Structure 1
Amino acid sequence: MTDAFAFLPPESPMSGEIRALDWSATPLGPPESWPSTLRGTLSLMLACPTAMFLAWGPDLLCFYNDAYRPLLGYRAETALGRPFRQVWASIWDEIGPLVDATLAGQSQTLTDVMLDLSRQGVPEESWWSFTYSPVRDEAGAINGLFCVTAETTSRVVNEARLRESEDHFRHTVELNPQVPWTCDPEGNITSYSNRWLALTGQAPGEPDGSGWAKALHPDDVPWTMTVFSQNLASGEPVDIDYRIRVAATGEYRWMRARALPRRNEAGAIIRWYGVVEDVHDRKLAEERLRESNETLERRVSAALAQRKLWADVFETTDALVAALDLDYRVLAVNRAYADEFESLYGLRPRVGDRLLDLLDAHPAQREAARAVWSRALAGEEFTLVEEFGDPEHRRPIFELKFTTLRDSAGRRIGAFQYALDVTPRLRSQEQLARAEEALRHAQKMEAVGQLTGGVAHDFNNMLTIIRSSVEFLRRPSLPEARRTRYLEAVSDTVDRAARLTSQLLSFARRQPLKPEVFDLGERLRAVADMLNAVTGARIRIVTEIPHAPCHVRVDPSQFETALVNLAVNARDAMTGEGTLALGLACDRPLPSIRGHAGAPGPFAALSVSDEGAGIAPEFLARIFEPFFTTKEVGKGTGLGLSQVIGFAKQSGGDVDVASDVGRGTVFTLYLPQVDPPAPEDATGTDAPEPEAGERGLRVLVVEDNLEVGRFCTQILEDLGHATVWAHNAEAALSELEQAPVRFDAVFSDVVMPGMGGVALARRLRVEHPDLPVILTTGYSDVLARDDAHGFELVRKPYAADQVARALRRVLARRRPASS
């Protein structure tokens, strides 16, 4: 029997996959009918170790070799024999033009192209180099394309890191107050930082070789070059002092040049690395020290004479007192200092001891002592607070004051330390801080108690109505009119409960939003007419809206709710009579509100002003708290302003309030301005919702809650649709893999164990772009943080007509695209 796949290399695993696929069900038909060009190309490709693929025929069916298969990731199980466009639908915008150009006869070569292959089903950045070539059939016509590809992600990332490292090194060199430099084994300067040019005034390139010596003092050149040459010849570290002329001032300053050699494996010097630092002030200090050596004995004698006087003074105080000379040697120390030092470090300091040597066994404390005493010995007078002793035990805390010691001629000879133990005072401050933290925690728990108490009160009221109504509805003899009244009471109470939940989520900035870009002025004019029904006939509404458009991107429903809440508050503040003013200002900055930093904007500022009684100053800080209200019992829930501030914050803005008791209140809602939306093609707008009586749909329901799942499938079946219920996202994917064309839509919960609804929807958008997805949730932190998910959303609790409208909307949007 003839082997139809005899042309395939037997050692290639992909040969086995090609043999196993039923090709008679594809446009290519059985392999016996395949053209010789396809057979030959496949044979060469499968035998090659480089990653390659072949797309053949009008549908560009996919073939690939073993090296290419790992690049497919999770697609590898279904990619063979599928149209190329379906396999790489997620990156078609990037590679589609390349495919079109190749099929037009133009070979394509691209290097280091960034593509998001999402090989494991999650976004990833990767870089690729590849060539696209047209493949011709026996008649010479282009009937496919051939690609050789290689991933260059590692090289691209490493090169980027190298560039960043080099840039970091350049900045480090140029910001170094010293002057880094390098030279070759012969002493020719090869590199230096720009600081050398700034110091010396030399031009770029002038210091190269031995040109740097031109900046030296003429008297220092001969012996500097001699010492430099000797170090180069011996390989000993370079350490030379010389003077250079500073271009900015024309004066000469002392510099110290140091360098170490770099050797190869054989021990030969291949380069010198060095730095030049300004030591002028140190040189002058050394010169002054040499000059003072002649009078050192006199100053020591004077210091010894002073010691008796200091001792008499030191021992009359509980403070820790000590004095050091410029070499960190003890000039004087009182008993309190010596006792404390001995208790901490086991040694007792005496006059003439070098303080740093006493701390050799405690390196951390030694460096800390050097740091503070060096400041004092340099002439700085300062105060600081430090802990001393073993860090693992409770340590005393001292307030240390340092002053300069001078001789009779005014010359600096040392420093003086005066230290007080302030441990009790600071420990008391720590206890006060802990008490304040406990008070803040108690206040927070009180706020939580107020919130939960308010929620419980309102929900218990609503549950009372629902429970009583249900009990009456169970009576078989209940008149129809009363049955209707009780059903309406249940429906209205459920709506109130949903609004209460929405307001709480809005206050917490956890409300799933559906933002749109719209002209705030235009929307405000439309809503102002509606507010008349809310405020009543005795409230006069005036508006001041600019003619220029002012666009924002917010949830229109939440915006209108916030505006209604502000209007209702204004109405109640004016006891139903007065003027309500709505004003809009554009391109405004966000001011600092309640201690939060402002922002430059631009922001749209919507003000709502009333002529009411105003808000007492002691209440202004609490008006946005949930369930806080100054109205009478039954006149308000205390959640209106909570919704307003929650909506404003979640939309990227804020709300401010100013009130004058007896004269009125102004609330100002700040919302970020955005650019106007791009004009839409008329053919791209949503089609009108179809009327009732449309065909029944096949809906895949994804819901992990058993009760909600039963209720949802019952709603859909009552609407005339067929349903399949999957208890999680993984089960839904399994249903779709079995027969993806069997479903017209997916209706999925958002919050589920394992893969969530948003992740499922995004995966279906890639793998099944023509399958509409509707999400539903009562609360989702994912949707609260990401309002750009792009899917139809039905909020819980939902009714049958809401589900029906959502299905009609997604199907109406799909029909123009598929027609």
Structure 2
Amino acid sequence: MRSFLDPSAQADVTSGQDSDQANPSRRMQGVSSAHFLKLIEERGATGFWTCDLMTGECTCSPGVSRIIGAETPQPFRMVDILERVHPEDRVLCEDLWPLTRSGVPVNRNFRIIRGDRTVRWIEFHSEVVLDAEQRPARAVGLLHDVTLQHEYRQTLDETLGRYRALVSSVATMEWRATASGEPIFSHGWTALTGQLESDVLRGSWVEAIHPEDRPAMVAAWEHAVATLTPYVINHRILQVNGEYDWFHSRAVPVLHKGGRSHEWLGMIVRHRDFGSPATHGGSNAGTLTAMQIRAARAMLQWTLEDLSRVSGVSVSSIRRIEAEGERATRANSLTAIRDAFEREGLAFSDGTAVSQRRRPPTRD
């Protein structure tokens, strides 16, 4: 059995160059196809084979022997490949030879166990050459070691898996947008709001944002897109159950080299999962401490019942908040209490500060 690339095989190929002399467009002076095959084979990841479909006689290049870990001097048989297929992949290879003999081109990826007991991923590709009567006469093909590509793919899959696990443990949903701010992907939005993916793509997702929060949200997003700065905002979203709840949204631009924006990557986190109460417009508008609530009531001379009547939060809830702080209630209750105080002219800042922006109305 002669290899594709042994001297006698090259002589056969060279002898066919006489016909090429008549066609200058096909002639490459002093170079045969064997030279190109040898150049490819010397990279160590590719091998070529051919097989007479009538007699079963096969010939292979040295690259095939290197890939499958076979002894080069022994005659090459197609079974030399099939017998080395990894047990878990054999079901993928049962029809390789029957398909090839019937004239069907084959392209498969599977693992083999080499002679030295190492495992490699290979790509098996075959084509069939027909005889003068249009019957399959000879199969030609290649083996390509794609182990490195599979390692890269596995590393990428594991990296994406870790990313997905991290995001799903924190975020209610994730989303992506183009450099110009147009949404191109959302994972979890339909389950959260009931809107379809097509609604998101045509911009109807804004309708799920509370009307009072839309202007600030749109302004923040337009500013982030225009300046390539992180987008951070808090707003209410209409959920599939028909109720609004507070969410924390943030996104960052993913940049190409040179600073050109490629896309935006963002997530939305439910505020009670985020670990802090809801806020308006990206500020700390919803956050109140127990000390601030008590101080604000004292400044307005409000009883628990007064605050309950104005804010809509029950007396028992207010009493519990003042005793235990923000951990004792839902974010919307703190927001309602803060709104009630702010309508009376009070202002709050981080920490325990409470100030009076205007004189409160005189109480009867």
**TM-score w.r.t. length of structure 2:** 0.54
Q: Check the 8 A contact 1:75/1:87 in 2, yes or no.
A: no
Partner of 1:275: 267
Partner of 2:63: 67
SS in 2 for 1:205: helix
Q: How far off is 1:268 after superposition? A: 3.3
Q: Distance in 1 between matches of 2:68 and 2:204?
A: 60
SS in 1 for 2:198: coil
Q: Would the alpha carbon gap of residues 96 and 61 (structure 1) be closer, same or farther in structure 2, given more than 3 Å must change?
A: farther
Partner of 1:226: 219
User: Identity, % of aligned pairs?
Assistant: 15
For residues 326-405 of structure 1, the aligned pairs below 5 Å read 378=327
Greater alpha carbon shift after TM alignment, 144-153 vs 88-97? 88-97
For residues 311-710 of structure 1, the aligned pairs below 5 Å read 378=327
Q: Distance in 1 between matches of 2:130 and 2:158?
A: 42
Partner of 2:175: 181
Q: Would the alpha carbon gap of residues 218 and 129 (structure 1) be closer, same or farther in structure 2, given more than 3 Å must change?
A: same
Q: Distance in 2 between matches of 1:184 and 1:57?
A: 54
Q: Distance in 2 between matches of 1:112 and 1:154?
A: 16
Q: Distance in 2 between matches of 1:208 and 1:141?
A: 52
Q: Would the alpha carbon gap of residues 89 and 288 (structure 1) be closer, same or farther in structure 2, given more than 3 Å must change?
A: closer
Partner of 2:248: 256
Q: Distance in 2 between matches of 1:206 and 1:45?
A: 58
Does the alignment pair 1:241 with 2:263? no
Partner of 1:190: 184
Q: Would the alpha carbon gap of residues 274 and 133 (structure 1) be closer, same or farther in structure 2, given more than 3 Å must change?
A: closer
Q: How far off is 1:167 after superposition? A: 5.8
Which of 292, 308, 312 aligns to 2:294? It is 292
Q: Distance in 1 between matches of 2:224 and 2:142?
A: 57
Q: Check the 8 A contact 2:128/2:137 in 1, yes or no.
A: no
Q: Distance in 1 between matches of 2:192 and 2:238?
A: 8
Q: Distance in 1 between matches of 2:171 and 2:254?
A: 23
Letter of the structure 2 residue corresponding to residue 48 of structure 1: L
Letter of the structure 1 residue corresponding to residue 145 of structure 2: E
Q: Would the alpha carbon gap of residues 135 and 65 (structure 1) be closer, same or farther in structure 2, given more than 3 Å must change?
A: farther
For residues 63-102 of structure 1, the aligned pairs below 5 Å read 63-76=59-72, 78-79=73-74, 82=75, 84=77, 90-91=83-84
Q: Would the alpha carbon gap of residues 233 and 209 (structure 1) be closer, same or farther in structure 2, given more than 3 Å must change?
A: farther
SS in 1 for 2:126: strand
Q: How far off is 1:377 after superposition? A: 9.5
Letter of the structure 1 residue corresponding to residue 122 of structure 2: W
Q: Check the 8 A contact 2:236/2:244 in 1, yes or no.
A: yes
Q: Distance in 2 between matches of 1:111 and 1:141?
A: 21
Partner of 2:106: 110
Query: Alpha-carbon deviations, 1:470-516, whole Å to 9, x = none?
Result: xxxxxxxxxxxxxxxxxxxxxxxxxxxxxxxxxxxxxxxxxxxxxxx
Does the alignment pair 1:203 with 2:196? yes
Which of 8, 32, 37 aligns to 1:48? It is 37
Partner of 2:121: 126
Q: Check the 8 A contact 2:175/2:183 in 1, yes or no.
A: yes
Q: Check the 8 A contact 1:129/1:151 in 2, yes or no.
A: no
Q: How far off is 1:286 after superposition? A: 1.5
SS in 1 for 2:213: helix
SS in 1 for 2:119: coil
Q: Check the 8 A contact 1:8/1:46 in 2, yes or no.
A: no
Does the alignment pair 1:265 with 2:267? no
Q: Which has the higher contact order (CA 8 A, sep 6+)?
A: 2
Q: How far off is 1:215 after superposition? A: 1.7
Q: Distance in 1 between matches of 2:137 and 2:193?
A: 71
Q: Would the alpha carbon gap of residues 182 and 145 (structure 1) be closer, same or farther in structure 2, given more than 3 Å must change?
A: closer
Q: How far off is 1:172 after superposition? A: 4.9
Q: Distance in 1 between matches of 2:53 and 2:209?
A: 78
Letter of the structure 2 residue corresponding to residue 291 of structure 1: I
Q: Would the alpha carbon gap of residues 287 and 231 (structure 1) be closer, same or farther in structure 2, given more than 3 Å must change?
A: farther
Letter of the structure 1 residue corresponding to residue 236 of structure 2: R
Q: Would the alpha carbon gap of residues 70 and 243 (structure 1) be closer, same or farther in structure 2, given more than 3 Å must change?
A: same
Q: Would the alpha carbon gap of residues 271 and 129 (structure 1) be closer, same or farther in structure 2, given more than 3 Å must change?
A: same
Q: Check the 8 A contact 1:181/1:191 in 2, yes or no.
A: yes
SS in 2 for 1:286: coil
Query: Alpha-carbon deviations, 1:759-794, whole Å to 9, x = none?
Result: xxxxxxxxxxxxxxxxxxxxxxxxxxxxxxxxxxxx
Q: Would the alpha carbon gap of residues 377 and 201 (structure 1) be closer, same or farther in structure 2, given more than 3 Å must change?
A: closer
Gap runs ≥5 in structure 1 = 1-6, 20-30, 298-374, 380-819
Query: Alpha-carbon deviations, 1:70-101, whole Å to 9, x = none?
Result: 2252422x32xx36267558359998975566
Q: Check the 8 A contact 1:55/1:62 in 2, yes or no.
A: yes
Q: Distance in 1 between matches of 2:196 and 2:79?
A: 62
Q: Check the 8 A contact 1:59/1:84 in 2, yes or no.
A: no
Q: Distance in 2 between matches of 1:73 and 1:54?
A: 18
Q: Distance in 2 between matches of 1:57 and 1:216?
A: 67
Please report the RMSD computed on the Cα atoms of aligned residues, expressed in angstroms: 4.9
Q: Would the alpha carbon gap of residues 156 and 44 (structure 1) be closer, same or farther in structure 2, given more than 3 Å must change?
A: same
Q: Distance in 1 between matches of 2:203 and 2:287?
A: 31
Q: Check the 8 A contact 1:127/1:156 in 2, yes or no.
A: no
Q: Check the 8 A contact 1:71/1:119 in 2, yes or no.
A: no
Q: Distance in 2 between matches of 1:199 and 1:86?
A: 55
Letter of the structure 2 residue corresponding to residue 109 of structure 1: P
Q: Would the alpha carbon gap of residues 134 and 75 (structure 1) be closer, same or farther in structure 2, given more than 3 Å must change?
A: farther
Query: Alpha-carbon deviations, 1:657-697, whole Å to 9, x = none?
Result: xxxxxxxxxxxxxxxxxxxxxxxxxxxxxxxxxxxxxxxxx
Q: Would the alpha carbon gap of residues 259 and 124 (structure 1) be closer, same or farther in structure 2, given more than 3 Å must change?
A: closer
Q: How far off is 1:282 after superposition? A: 1.7
Partner of 2:209: 216
Q: How far off is 1:221 after superposition? A: 1.9
Query: Alpha-carbon deviations, 1:311-348, whole Å to 9, x = none?
Result: xxxxxxxxxxxxxxxxxxxxxxxxxxxxxxxxxxxxxx
Q: Would the alpha carbon gap of residues 129 and 170 (structure 1) be closer, same or farther in structure 2, given more than 3 Å must change?
A: same
Query: Alpha-carbon deviations, 1:603-661, whole Å to 9, x = none?
Result: xxxxxxxxxxxxxxxxxxxxxxxxxxxxxxxxxxxxxxxxxxxxxxxxxxxxxxxxxxx
Q: Distance in 1 between matches of 2:297 and 2:136?
A: 101
Q: Distance in 2 between matches of 1:179 and 1:141?
A: 57
Gap runs ≥5 in structure 2 = 17-31, 41-46, 279-285, 300-323, 329-364
Q: How far off is 1:58 after superposition? A: 8.2
Larger Rg: 1
